């Protein structure tokens, strides 16, 4: 059974615990067995809310939208405030207490399944328990999507839907994290606009690093942290996207297209194209026309 807190839930808050028989179904059903919720809720101004778990059996994701709470995770003290997303993976000992003077308001979900650990990495919780995302309407919509199953009499289909809404919620976390740094996003936009304006050239890593005011090594590392790919690979993908557009909308030969993308050697660019698209330019043009 899921060990939720014993906090007395007032009328304006929600605690939804999935019945054990349905949890067993979700753990074996093909569309849910990889990832499924076991409890979720929304606590408003949770005065007196506290919990202590030494042997945590599932993963717990908490999104704080107001107030504050004090945590101790694996012996390390932390403070969670509005805009923070907290992940407590299975097996992590922890305790938390809402600030008596400014208790937190939270959306939360306990979940489990073979993909839980993969989603921990994907969400960016490799080296931290808490990520500050600020106010994210997308996450609130997804958390509320889980709660849409309340008052449906524990209908199996509703909870199968909730399990897939959970996957959507977790998959959206990196998108929300990308939106938290407006300055870095503005820097990326400037860089990407430069790339788009120079698709007819062979731009080097050093040129892009100079534009960002960083050393090539620092720039490449920072870019990969922000985007998950290398700057040169992204530039190549932009070139291939543009080549696809020209294959779709013009009768230009691929040799002409290659020259417009800055490659005199069309055979070389064709190999790059196939590596990205999984098919040759010739096959792509034939497929897109039929």
Q: For residue 178, what pLDDT is reported? A: 63
Q: Spell out the domain ranges in the chain.
A: 14-178, 182-289
d(CA 254, CA 271): 12
pLDDT recorded at residue 275? 93
CA atoms within a 13 Å half-sphere pointing along the CA-CB vector of 257: 24
Q: Report the alpha-carbon distance of residue 47 to residue 27 in Å, rounded.
A: 34
Task: Name the pTM for this structure.
Answer: 0.66
Helix, coil or strand: residue 133: coil
Q: State CA 115 to chain mean position distance.
A: 14
**By C-alpha distance, which of 23, 107, 17, 20 is closest to 61?**
107
Please tell me what DSSP assigns to residue 2. Answer: -
Rg (CA), the chain: 24
Tell me the C-alpha to C-alpha distance, in Å, between residue 224 and each of 48, 50, 205, 217, 241. 42, 38, 13, 11, 20
Question: Tokens for 201?
Answer: 């050239």
Closest CA to 128 of 173, 184, 83, 86: 86
- Please, are residues 183 and 189 in contact by the beta-carbon 8 Å criterion? no
Instruction: Report the pLDDT value the prediction gives residue 38, as an integer from 0 to 100.
Output: 96
83/90 Cα distance (integer angstroms): 23
14-178 against 182-289: fold identical: no
Is residue 36 within 8 A of residue 158, CB to CB? The reply is no
Q: In which residue ranges of the chain is pLDDT below 50?
A: 290
Question: Greatest CA separation found in the chain?
Answer: 71
Classified as helix, coil or strand, 255 is helix
Architecture of domain 182-289: Orthogonal Bundle (1.10)
For domain 14-178, the CATH architecture is Sandwich (2.60)
Place of tokens 């999984």: 278
What pLDDT, on a 0 to 100 scale, did the predictor assign at position 1?
A: 56
What's the pLDDT at 218? 86
* Separate counts of helices (H) and strands (E) for the chain: 11, 10
pLDDT in tens, 153-176: 889 999 999 999 999 999 999 887
Q: What DSSP letter does each residue of 237-266 carry, written as one string?
A: HHHHHHHHHHHHH----HHHHHHHTT-S-H
């Amino acid at each position: 059974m899921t060990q939720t807190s014993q906090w007395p839930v007032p009328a304006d808050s929600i605690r939804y615990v999935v019945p054990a028989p349905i949890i067993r179904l979700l753990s074996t059903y093909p569309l849910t067995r990889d990832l499924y919720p076991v409890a979720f809720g929304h606590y408003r101004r949770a005065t007196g809310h506290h919990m202590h778990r030494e042997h945590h059996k599932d993963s717990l994701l908490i999104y704080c939208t107001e107030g504050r709470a004090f945590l101790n995770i694996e012996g390390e003290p932390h403070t969670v405030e509005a805009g923070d997303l907290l992940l407590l993976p299975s097996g992590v000992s922890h305790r938390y207490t809402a600030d008596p003077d400014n208790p937190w308001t939270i959306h939360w979900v306990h979940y489990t399944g073979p993909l839980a650990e993969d989603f921990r990495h994907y969400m960016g919780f490799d080296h931290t328990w808490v990520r500050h995302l600020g106010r994210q309407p997308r996450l609130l919509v997804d958390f509320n999507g889980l709660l849409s199953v309340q008052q449906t009499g524990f209908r199996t289909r509703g909870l199968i839907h909730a399990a897939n809404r959970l996957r959507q919620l977790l998959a959206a976390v990196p998108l929300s994290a990308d939106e938290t740094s407006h300055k870095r996003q503005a820097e990326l936009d400037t860089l990407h606009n430069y790339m788009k304006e120079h698709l007819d050239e062979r731009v080097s890593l050093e040129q892009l690093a100079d534009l960002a005011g960083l050393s090539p090594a620092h720039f490449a590392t920072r870019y990969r942290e922000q985007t998950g790919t290398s700057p040169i690979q992204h530039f190549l993908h932009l070139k291939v996207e543009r080549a696809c557009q020209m294959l779709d909308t013009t009768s230009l030969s691929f040799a002409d297209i290659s020259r417009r993308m800055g490659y005199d050697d069309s055979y070389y660019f064709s190999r790059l194209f196939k590596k990205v698209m999984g098919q040759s330019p010739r096959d792509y043009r034939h497929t897109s026309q039929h």
